[in-house]
Amino acid sequence: MPSAHVDRFVIDRLPGPDTLPRFVFEGPALQFPPQLNVAQALLLRHRGTAQGARPCVRGAAPDGMPIAWTYDELAARGARIAHVLVRELGLVPGERVLLRGANSPMLAACWFGVVMAGGIVVGTMPLLRARELAGIVDKARVRVALCDARLQDELRAAMAQAPTLQALRCFNTGDLEAAMAAAPDAFEPVDTAADDPVLIAFTSGTTGQPKAAVHGHRDLMAAAACWPVHVLRAGPDDRAIGSPPLAFTFGLGGLLVFPLAAGGSTVLLEKATPDALPAAIAAHRATVCYTSPTAYRAMAPQLAGHDLSSLRQCVSAGEALPAATRTLWRQASGIEIIDGIGSTEMFHIFISAREDQARGGATGYAVPGYEAAVLGDDGQPLPPGQVGRLAVRGPTGCRYLDDARQAGYVQHGWNLTGDAYLVDPADGQFVYQARTDDMIISGGYNIAGPEVEAALLLHPAVAECGVVGKPDEARGMVVAAFVVLKPGHVGDAAMAAALQDFVKQTIAPYKYPRELQFRSSLPRTETGKLQRFRLKQEAAGSV
């Protein structure tokens, strides 16, 4: 099927066939028509039907007034935005549109407006600064941006550094709403090919230049046919809520694409921190919650006084879920967390387990539709119990925009996520060890930092912790822990010794942190990941 893209900037910069992963589409649910537009498939096809009148997205306007739009109301707003993009800003299919804003119903309307018009969405994290925004504009060659009025300063500053960006409209009480009012509320979506790009997702990039992962219309629908159907199993009466930004594919899938694909609804909150989320779950009667392991840990002691009776399912991703956090959350909420590993490159979760299969410390099984394996250094699968590189393939996969690092993520048709895993010989579950470059090799032993963290988290005084390798002349590296204590505990030498002993009693003694420092907080990315490279620098004494 010919592409509908008039602007071929992205299509011309995709990896060649020899560096693409093997895409696997098995079973009737993964067969798609040659032409597909996700805005049509998720939203527009319901117009005027009973589904069109059902609740779709909730949230609040900038003045705090509650918003509750049906499918038809979201579609109408998306259509008006598509008209503004095409008529006023001259957008052509294939052009990139940068979106900037905290999660809100208007951000979702902008997302659909861009997609209806055949554009490619370039999501950006709200906390990014002008310099980082300019890098994204440059890499994706962005001419048009839609921005929350309250976040426009940093983007205007970026425009000075990135001259391709020329057209900016602001929403959530800005000039976009005025332009929308003058536009029709119906738009014929561009008839895109199923594999036309629809999204450029920048990796959160803990180090180095961020990578731009491209996904097409079919990729989003294929992801929606896998994990949400087989593991989550949420339906039309479910209402999603959570913290990940729509610029992070964990949030885009969990809080927009998947709820709509199931005919359900979503709550898009500007502020979904652990202090705010329990009250929001109660206020919106949400049924499915998406957030990070650290947020579940921080929320667990704060549930009293909130009516969480609507909540059925809790999804954790972004980093490994420690067994102690799973237990803590089950005790506080009565809910068994669904853990899942996903990545920006794969779009969403590819290894996970249903609540009834979930086991502390394990991520789960390959999601139906995906295959997963643990490979040795020679690229061949390892027997269960041995630690190697996690490899996955399925209906989605890595396609970096114009990036030599494609050859690092994709090898022999597999997507290599950069994670060290093993398969548990007892139950076949995939068990996370560490990022491959974070494995600590000390005195000839391989030690996974997250395993030591999981042990420390079992101690009642520990709120959060991070464990990294510190260069050491005698042992090559030693295990160094950074610990945040819960209120009421003192980080003195006695506490350090007690924690070290505790680890020796809990896991193999050679894994205990020989160095242990107390901190008031740990460095994290906007997607909730611990910034280990900072802890490593600190441990090495370079900062």
Shortest distance in whole angstroms from residue 327 CB to ligand 3UK: 16
Shortest distance in whole angstroms from residue 358 CB to ligand 3UK: 12
DSSP three-state, residue 197? strand
Write the secondary structure of 350-389 as one string of H (helix), E (strand) and C (coil).
EEECCCCCCCCCCCEEECCCCEEEEECCCCCECCCCCCEE
Shortest distance in whole angstroms from residue 474 CB to ligand 3UK: 30
Nearer to ligand 3UK (CB atom), residue 75 or residue 272: 272
Q: How far apart are CA 159 and CA 220, in angstroms?
A: 30
Nearer to ligand 3UK (CB atom), residue 363 or residue 429: 363
Nearer to ligand 3UK (CB atom), residue 81 or residue 372: 372
Write the burial class of residue 458 (CB in 10 Å: 0-12 exposed, 13-18 middle, 19+ buried). Answer: middle
Block residue for tokens 């030591």? 452
Dihedral of alpha carbons 135, 140, 141, 142, sign: negative
Of the candidates 140, 132, 340, 145, the one whose C-alpha atom is nearest the C-alpha of residue 249 is 340
User: 141 in the Ramachandran plot: left (φ > 0), alpha (ψ -120 to 50) or beta?
Assistant: left
Nearer to ligand 3UK (CB atom), residue 348 or residue 511: 348
Of the candidates 515, 530, 367, 514, the one whose C-alpha atom is nearest the C-alpha of residue 434 is 530
Nearer to ligand 3UK (CB atom), residue 69 or residue 409: 409
Nearer to ligand 3UK (CB atom), residue 339 or residue 451: 339
Joined tokens for residue 124: 């950006």
Q: Do residues 318 and 344 lie in contact, with contact meaning Cβ atoms separated by under 8 Å?
A: no
Nearer to ligand 3UK (CB atom), residue 76 or residue 390: 390
Shortest distance in whole angstroms from residue 252 CB to ligand 3UK: 8
Nearer to ligand 3UK (CB atom), residue 4 or residue 261: 261
Shortest distance in whole angstroms from residue 226 CB to ligand 3UK: 12
User: 541 in the Ramachandran plot: left (φ > 0), alpha (ψ -120 to 50) or beta?
Assistant: left
User: Residues near 535 by Cβ (< 8 Å), separated by ≥ 6?
Assistant: 466, 468, 480, 482, 522, 523
Nearer to ligand 3UK (CB atom), residue 228 or residue 342: 342
Shortest distance in whole angstroms from residue 369 CB to ligand 3UK: 15
Closest-by-Cβ residue to ligand 3UK is 342
64-91 exposure pattern, b = at least 16 Cβ within 10 A, e = fewer: eeeeebbbbbbbbbbbbbbbbbbeebeb
Q: How far apart are CA 310 and CA 61, in angstroms?
A: 24
Nearer to ligand 3UK (CB atom), residue 40 or residue 249: 249
Dump strand ranges (E) for 158-224. Answer: 167-171, 197-202, 212-216
Q: How far apart are CA 238 and CA 408, in angstroms?
A: 39
Nearer to ligand 3UK (CB atom), residue 125 or residue 180: 125
Shortest distance in whole angstroms from residue 326 CB to ligand 3UK: 11
Dump strand ranges (E) for 203-246. Answer: 212-216, 239-242
Q: How far apart are CA 508 and CA 511, in angstroms?
A: 6
Q: Do residues 104 and 270 lie in contact, with contact meaning Cβ atoms separated by under 8 Å?
A: yes
Shortest distance in whole angstroms from residue 459 CB to ligand 3UK: 21
Shortest distance in whole angstroms from residue 222 CB to ligand 3UK: 14
Nearer to ligand 3UK (CB atom), residue 196 or residue 339: 339
* Chain residues that interact with ligand 3UK, rule: CB under 6 A: 203-204, 249-250, 317-321, 339-344, 348-349, 363, 417-419, 432, 435, 527
DSSP, residue by residue, 72-129: HHHHHHHHHHHHIIIIIT---TT-EEEEE-SS-HHHHHHHHHHHHTT-EEEEE-TT--
Shortest distance in whole angstroms from residue 416 CB to ligand 3UK: 9
Write the burial class of residue 169 (CB in 10 Å: 0-12 exposed, 13-18 middle, 19+ buried). Answer: buried
Shortest distance in whole angstroms from residue 375 CB to ligand 3UK: 15
Dihedral of alpha carbons 49, 52, 53, 55, sign: positive
Shortest distance in whole angstroms from residue 204 CB to ligand 3UK: 5
Shortest distance in whole angstroms from residue 528 CB to ligand 3UK: 8
Nearer to ligand 3UK (CB atom), residue 317 or residue 387: 317
